[in-house]
Amino acid sequence: MTLPDKDSIETYGGALSNYSDPIDPTTDEDAAWRNKYAANVAMMTHTLTRGARSFLGTTGGATQIADPSTGFVHDNVWGDGAVVKLTGSYVSTGTYFFTAPTAVSDELGVSHDVNLRRAWAEVESSDGTARFATAKVSGAQTITVYTYEDVAGNGAIRASQLVGQVITVFFI
């Protein structure tokens, strides 16, 4: 397996042992070192962020969301092409919905089903207004993002589209 799947050291052939001591360290690999990095890589597949997708808060009449005009838009462990970009839409005040591909191919050309497990979101706000975003995995390939702000500045947080604000959703 490879990302986006979860692996164990067994995925990489299990722990190895040397047949003999490495003769040339520039061409021979010691099993103890290989076992360490194989175990580390395998364990990273359990909690490593699989991807992120930025978007702009939109007006209530628009169903399609817009990408930020500059800076980061999206990337995933399975690539950054348009075909693997999470598609998003505005649902209602303070609610956005994203869909990931059902399956993706790794760099070896092997297809993997996408099964999202957790999501979180943040708002890039710099004007002092309290703005928040939360996210939850709402299906195997779907994420719902909720956005809020303190419009009056009095601590009364309410759902908001966050028009023009950059919101980023992350997922594993």
According to the model, what pLDDT value does residue 62 have?
65
d(CA 96, CA 121): 11
Helix (H, G, I), strand (E, B) or coil at 87: strand
According to the model, what pLDDT value does residue 9 have?
87
Residue 91 has pLDDT above 70, yes or no: yes
87 vs 47: which has the higher pLDDT: 87
Tokens 């042992």 label which residue?
17
Residue 33 backbone phi and psi in degrees, to 5: -70, -40
Output the average pLDDT for the chain: 90
- Domain range annotation of the chain: 9-47, 51-171
Tokens standing for residue 98? 């994203």
Tokens standing for residue 47? 């909690």
The one-character DSSP state at 32 is H
Find the mean pLDDT for residues 67-73: 91
**Whether the Cβ atoms of residue 14 and residue 31 lie closer than 8 Å to each other:** no
Tokens 């838009």 label which residue?
73
According to the model, what pLDDT value does residue 99 have?
97
Residue 1 has pLDDT above 70, yes or no: no
Segment 93-152, tens digit of pLDDT: 999 999 999 999 988 888 999 999 999 999 997 788 899 999 999 999 999 999 999 977
Long-range CB pairs of 159-164 (<8 Å, 24+ gap) are 159/93, 159/94, 159/95, 160/57, 160/93, 160/94, 160/131, 161/57, 161/58, 161/59, 161/60, 161/90, 161/93, 161/94, 162/57, 162/123, 162/131, 162/133, 163/56, 163/57, 163/58, 163/59, 164/56, 164/57
d(CA 140, CA 119): 12
Sign of CA dihedral 106, 171, 97, 61: negative
Is the whole model's pTM more than 0.95, yes or no? no
